[in-house]
Amino acid sequence: MSLDASQLAASMLQVFKAELTDKWPDIKEYASAEATKLAENLVMIERMQLTGEITPEQARLHHQIQRNASRTVLLAVTGLSRVAIEQAINAAMDSLRQSVNTALNFTLL
């Protein structure tokens, strides 16, 4: 199974919109950019894992770095609380858990 960045980003964006409804008009551009970055990071991890360039532990670290960066951007520009952003990111990752972990053949999310 190969991950598709555009499909992953679209799934995350739907979750972000549902989770952050009150601020959606103000944050949709930022949320879209961060969903794309997170999705591209997951595809990069898959590619590197398939070629043996990255271990599962390194993959988890790469993912956590991108997740932290996205969290920081959304906190800085949205005026939402850390809890709201964390819930939105967690929900987005939950929506991808099965497909990503299956594609990677290890638990990343």
Query: Using one digit for the tens of pLDDT, what is the confidence trace for 87-106?
Result: 999 999 999 999 999 999 99
Query: Could you give the CA distance from residue 19 to residue 63 in angstroms, rounded to a whole number?
Result: 21
| pTM for the model | 0.91
Mean pLDDT of 2-21: 96
Query: Could you give the CA distance from residue 39 to residue 4 in angstroms, rounded to a whole number?
Result: 8
Which residue from 84, 87, 106 is spatially nearest to 95, judged by alpha carbons? 87
Strand residue runs (E) in 33-91: none
Q: Is the pLDDT of residue 80 over 80?
A: no
CB neighbourhood size of 74 (10 A): 24
Query: Could you give the CA distance from residue 42 to residue 44 in angstroms, rounded to a whole number?
Result: 5
Q: Given pLDDT bands bounded at 50, 70 and 90, which one contains residue 82?
A: confident
pLDDT at 1: 59
